Structure 1
Amino acid sequence: MNRLKRPDFIRYMNKGGKKMAGKNRMLLFTIGCTMLLLSACGGGSTTKTDDPGAAGKEAPLTPEAEAARVANSKLELSFLYPPSGTEELFMARFGEQIKKKFPQYTLKFIPRQSDNYSGLLASKEPIDIVIVSLNNTGTYLTDIGLESDISDLIKKYNYDLSRIEPSLIDIQRRIANGGIYGLPLGTGAMVFLYNKDLFDKFGVSYPRDGMTWDEVYDLTRRMTRTDGGINYKGMVFGFASVIRSNQLSAPYFDSKTGKAMFTDHNFVQTFTNVARFYKIPGMEIPNNKYSDQADQFLKDQTVAMMINTGGMVARTAEALKNWDIASLPTLQEKPGLGMQAGPDYLYITNRSAQRDAAFQVLTYIASDEYQEWMARDLAFVPALKDSKKAMQSFGAGLQGIQGKNVQAIISQPYAPLTLASPFTANANSEMNNALNAFSAGKDVNTALREAAERIDKLVEQGMKK
């Protein structure tokens, strides 16, 4: 304790050079020593408590205790959910569960103001969390400068990223140049659905798990026919979604140059593999209305099989009585490999003044607790690395999903994700244009080259703005 008897310390305790009575001096000296000793022993990891009766007290907290303290703080968190723009959907999918987990938090929903958010950005209104898909991360986060690296929070709370599906974290590392901007909501996995009634009608065996694309192509040919004056199709796709989620991880754009990669070998192979289905007689799309394909499967019920995004599971359960799920078809050169995921993320923005509280929300959404609820009541595919438990109750809270082959959805590893672009939506449109040209007789290389030329001009114009 000799180090505490420094002259500067004595001068601090005797401001103005006034002499103190012995008892008072000793009392103050003892208090000072105690304070310094506690400070020295604290290691710098102290946090003030929120207990009004313990004002000024400090105590070291473990990451778990700090998380609990933050979770019990009274504060407001603001959320931006641009894809839907409705508070009702936000509350149904996230808000009600967040309120149950964090009753002290007040949740503020920010309505969508405009497509480019110019008014919102100019207002400097606080935005704690943005919920948006990977493909729209640029539009609603990075391209408008709202991104914030949460690596410090991951370290502070010892958050274990290894429990998350690896491809969902790997793509975040690429977006953030080694950092990470958000945690995933779900995988957005593609699914392979089929109408058992149509297979029964025509005496054809159902699709099975582990089929190749070639086998599914042959099955599509068998199921495409006219019967009783009704045209039946073997298969429909979310065409651009299947191309974008391809198993070869062939990207739309070169990540360095921004140029379209439609004529790259892997991309041509991907496009040809899917586009050939539309050259089967009877598989043509009237008036090129690709958006109507899901209705043909769900409402008209004249399509035997459909590959589309995971959200179609709940819609299929509502529309069809006799249906099921098979694992996605695979490529011979990539046996057993599934398609890329199509995840949504929760991002903490650089406008958040409540980063710790926002991070507690992110970790809750990625927790087993929420992921199991989400799988059960929303039929969303979990973002967990090991999602078998959550998938056991997949869709149990909804009608018509029980007893279906839901484990097929997660039976294959995900292909590595490709980076999205601000022009991804435009590229999706060009895929449909290229398909139209290919279906009309133009060779695949020419159709894709012309599509690449169009999108490159569009990108060049956009970069000049």
Structure 2
Amino acid sequence: MIKTSKRARKWVLTGLTLSLLIPTLAACSTSKGKDADVKRTLRIGTMYGTKQDDSWFRQQFTDIFEITHDSNIEIEIVPAIDYSEQQFEDQSKQQEQPDPLEKVKAIMTGTNPVDVMIFDLGMLGQLVNENLLKQLDPLLKEDKIDVNDFVPTVIEGIKDQGNNFIYGLTPTFTPAALFYNKTLFTKQGVEFPKDGMSWDDVFNLAKRMKSGSGKDSVFGFTFNQWGAGDNFWDVQNFAAPLQLKMFDAKGETMTVNTPQWEAVWKSVTDLYKDHVTPHQEDMQAMYEEPAKDSIRNPFQGQLFLNNKVAMTIGNYDMINQIQQLNDNADKLKINKLDWDVVTVPFHPGHEGIGGNIYLNNLAGINANAANPDDAWEFVKFMNGKEWAKLKSRSTYEMSARKEFVKVREGMSYNLNAFMTMKPAPLLQSSAAEQKLYREKPNLDKVTELGSRAYSDVIQGKKSVKEALAQWETKGNDLLQKIKANPKGPIDGIFDDVYGGGGGISIDKQAVMEAAGEG
């Protein structure tokens, strides 16, 4: 879900922008092979929304298309999951969350299917496996649209989910890179990071960059710009390219007590134990540090921005914060950040694959579309040069077209670091895994068991090997309970396993929103 405030911040289209763009886009005003006097409806499906208010979506995607194209095309927005309907559910009962795939399939099939579907990368592979999308490669070839004009990581990420074919396109994407503090590296006499480093290379650099103690501590690395080194979600994100499985294909037997899992957990927890990554008390000390001359530092809780961390993984929009900080450094009475970026590290054997790359707002044509011609005209326009030029003004996402990807004015950094690495394979990426989780939604509880086992390692209660063995044992017990009750409540499981302890939060959405991604 995208918060309304962020939507407004990112995508407000002013009257001036429209007036400037309309003459440029007017050449696209007709759909080929269509009678200009015939009224047509183009139905566009969205993952989420409300039938009562689709103004945000229209503002982002369809307003300019309607102005610049055939006036006989009427656009209808159809949300697969309607937020407003949840307001009228019986709140006294536990509500089962809707299955996104089933909801999307419902509006893509039947007597009045949508013509275009807007979705994220996590849905692309599922729709392809269900044969619900029209392959775009022939249409791109026919209209002489060169996919080499798009950023490689975007096309490769799309092809990976489409069996090496293109079934959707997006005008923007959210990449990540390894940000590093040049001042700290120079002071420590350590060479700067470079593109194409492995995780071992980065962790070794991080250990060399750890210095000081207490309030004078400088840490070598964090997995994100916000948190300490004890977040289980960071472990999952770090391990994503390896595609390690928690259980077998039937969801009946755990598969975590292995040397591969042990190596992943040990790599991350050793950084924490050696204080190469910060602890919660380090973060708390930053928040409690008194303001200088009563001047509030809005970046106080972010160690990297305060010259306390040598390297961190950050999304593209982190540049906004760096720019704000440096523009106001004198007012805040802090040093400006001297920084640059390199590619996200890779795991040996998985060169060229990184995590933290988000392809949202993909547009595809429904294989069952009643109006495929107008559907292609819309998808083509949404991913065309004129639209890309407009979207390139965003400071939160990058244009998917290479010619509009530029270094910010007045800044200098390694732009290619954001465009090189392929997205990591998605968790639950195969059709079989997706089907298994739909049939057994309680499988999500296995991850919570892992979070609590990981917490035991962080707190020094167990070794990595002991924690994984316990996760395996208790997980197998849970999987048998899930087999007997795939969707219903399984009471007392965490009390039985870990005495009701809290564990470490693995709320992905909370982490992403805190990092500005959600």
TM-score, reference length from structure 2:
0.56
Partner residue, 1:440 = 459
Shift in alpha-carbon separation, 1:270–1:92, aligned structure 2, 3 A: farther
Q: Cα gap change, 1:146/1:331 in structure 2, threshold over 3 Å: closer, same or farther?
A: closer
What SS does the corresponding residue of 1:343 show, helix, strand or coil?
coil
Distance 1:381 1:158, change over 3 A: same
Q: Mark the CA change 1:116 to 1:414 in structure 2 (over 3 Å): closer, same or farther.
A: closer
1:325 aligned partner: 341
Distance in 2 separating the partners of 1:443 and 1:83: 46
Give unpaired runs (5+ residues) of structure 2.
Answer: 1-27, 87-96, 149-153, 225-230, 288-298, 327-335, 489-518
Q: Percent identity?
A: 19
What is the match of residue 507 of structure 2? none
1:207 equivalenced with 2:193 (yes/no) = yes
CA deviation profile, 1:220-273 (whole Å, cap 9, x unmatched): 224334467344432211463663464743144668434665445545444443
Provide the residue aligned with 1:250 in structure 2: 243
Distance 1:332 1:356, change over 3 A: same
Contact 1:233–1:304 (CA under 8 A) maintained in structure 2: yes
Q: Distance in 2 between matches of 1:363 and 1:326?
A: 32
Deviation digits for residues 358-407 of structure 1, max 9, x if unmatched? 333333444455456545524534556xx4x443x25x4xx77x422111
Aligned residue in 2 for 1:166 = 156
- Whether the aligned pair in 2 keeps the contact of 1:186 and 1:381 (CA below 8 Å) is yes
Distance 1:458 1:313 in 2: 47
User: Among 107, 112, 116, which residue is 2:98 paired with?
Assistant: 116
SS where residue 209 of structure 1 aligns?
coil
- Amino acid in structure 2 at the alignment position of 1:134: L
Larger Rg: 1
Q: 1:89 to 1:296 in 2, by over 3 A?
A: farther
Q: Secondary structure at the match of 1:357?
A: helix
- Residue deviations 1:255-293 (CA, integer Å, cap 9, x gap): 843466544554544444344322222634328999x99
C-alpha distance in structure 2 between counterparts of 1:117 and 1:250, whole Å: 23
Are the structure 2 counterparts of residues 335 and 87 from structure 1 closer, same or farther at C-alpha, using a change threshold of 3 Å? Answer: same
Q: SS where residue 235 of structure 1 aligns?
A: strand
Residues 185/435 of structure 1: CA separation in 2 closer, same or farther (3 Å cut): farther
- Correspondence for 2:274: 280
Q: Which residue of 2 aligns with 1:34?
A: none
Unaligned runs of 5+ in 1: 1-63
Q: 1:313 to 1:225 in 2, by over 3 A?
A: same
Distance in 2 (alpha carbons) for counterparts of 1:358 and 1:316: 40
Corresponding letter in the other structure for 2:363: L
Name the CA shift for 1:286/1:416 in 2 (closer, same or farther; >3 Å): closer
Aligned partner letter, 1:224: K
Closer, same or farther in 2 for the Cα pair 1:101/1:313, shift >3 Å?
Answer: farther
- Tell me the equivalent position of 1:134: 121
Instruction: Report the alpha carbon displacement of residue 133 of structure 1 after superposing the two structures with TM.
Output: 2.9
**Partner of residue 411, structure 1:** 420
Task: Tell me how far 1:112 sits from its aligned partner.
Answer: 2.9
The verdict on how the C-alpha distance between 1:406 and 1:457 changes in structure 2, with shifts beyond 3 A counting, is: farther
Aligned to 1:229: 215
Checking the alignment, whether the CA contact within 8 Å between 2:133 and 2:167 is kept in structure 1 is: yes
Query: What SS does structure 1 have at the residue aligned with 2:340?
Result: strand
Q: Give secondary structure in 2 for the equivalent of 1:194.
A: strand
- Alignment partner for residue 363 of structure 1, among 380, 405, 409? 380
Give the number of aligned pairs: 385
C-alpha distance 204-432 of structure 1, shift in aligned 2 (>3 A): farther
How far apart are residue 352 of structure 1 and its match? 5.9
